[in-house]
Amino acid sequence: MTRYINYAAIAMITIFLGACCTQPWNRFPQLKRPDTSYRTGHSHGYDLYIWECREGKRMVVYRHAGGMTCSEPVLETAPCGGQTPIEKKLAREEKRLVPDQQKWPD
C-alpha cells in the first residue's frame, strides 16, 4: 500500500512542477513584443521569440515544451544579421505559428 502512495505522491509532484512553467515575458520583462516568433514540433518542441536588431544585437528567447513540462526560458544573442546557436540548431525544423496563448503580450 505504501508503494502506491509513494507513486501517487511522485505523480502529483511531477504534475505540479510541470504546471509551473515560467512564461518568457515574465522571465525577460524588459523585452517588448518580438519582431517574429515561431514554434517547432507538434506534441513537443521549441517556442522562439526573435528580435532582429535590438541594442545592437540579435536576440532570441526560447524554451522547450512538451506534454506537461517545459524548460526555463533562455536568452541568446548574436550580431545583428547573424544567427544564434538555437536558430542554427533548429534551421531545418518545420516552423509554425506560436499559439495565441503563447504570443508575447504588448
Query: What is the pLDDT, as a whole number, of residue 14?
Result: 42
Domain boundaries defined on the chain? 21-102
Taking alpha carbons only, the member of 91, 17, 19 closest to residue 48 is 91
Task: Supply angle C-alpha 62, 64, 66, rounded to 5.
Answer: 150
* Residue matched to cell numbers 525577460: 28
pLDDT along the chain (106 residues), means of 10: 53 48 94 96 93 96 91 97 97 94 92
- Closest Cα to residue 63, out of 76, 79, 53, 52? 76
Question: What pLDDT, on the 0 to 100 scale, is given for residue 19?
Answer: 54
**pLDDT score at 9:** 46
